[in-house]
């Protein structure tokens, strides 16, 4: 099963890279990536919820400069950061997608 989940993760990342998070496909791929990573027991990478940029450093290092340079027109960083940190920021007013593997 781990092998199949790894393949799903690879395909979700390809879709995310091609479509970005602004599209419905990209948002779905991002949700799949997060859900599968959680099932595999991997630490979730920090990804900009507005554009899908993957932070490669230590956690959210660089989010403030990235946000101010790319997304300040969408929402001021001072308002966006608490939402991003809490995991409740939704890109461009879109609703959240459910966790595919959440227990009911």
Residue 69 in any domain: the answer is: yes
Per-residue tokens: 8: 């799903």
Give the tens place of pLDDT for each residue, 21-44.
677 888 888 788 878 878 887 766
Give the tens place of pLDDT for each residue, 63-90.
999 999 999 999 999 999 998 888 778 7
Q: Predicted confidence band at 102 (pLDDT cuts at 50, 70, 90)? A: low
What is the total count of domains within the chain? 2
Q: At residue 47, what are phi and psi to the nearest 5 degrees?
A: -125, 130
* 33 and 9 in a common domain: yes
Q: Give the orientation angle of helix 24-39 with respect to helix 2-19, to 10 degrees.
A: 150
Q: pTM of the predicted model, to two decimals? A: 0.55
pLDDT at 76: 93
* 68 and 36 in a common domain: no
CB 28 within 8 Å of CB 97? yes
* 34 and 3 in a common domain: yes
Residue 104 in any domain: the answer is: no
Q: Please tell me what DSSP assigns to residue 53.
A: -
Structural domain of 2 = 1-44
Residue 102 in any domain: the answer is: no
């Amino acid at each position: 099963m781990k092998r199949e989940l790894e393949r799903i993760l690879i395909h979700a990342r390809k879709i995310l890279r091609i479509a970005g998070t602004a599209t419905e496909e990209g948002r779905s791929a991002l949700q799949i990536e997060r859900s599968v990573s959680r099932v595999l027991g991997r630490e979730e990478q920090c990804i900009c919820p507005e554009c899908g940029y993957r932070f490669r450093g230590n956690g959210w290092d660089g989010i403030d400069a990235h946000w101010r340079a790319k997304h300040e027109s969408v929402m001021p960083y001072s308002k966006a950061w608490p939402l991003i940190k809490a995991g409740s920021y939704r890109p461009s007013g879109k609703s959240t997608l459910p966790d595919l593997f959440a227990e009911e």
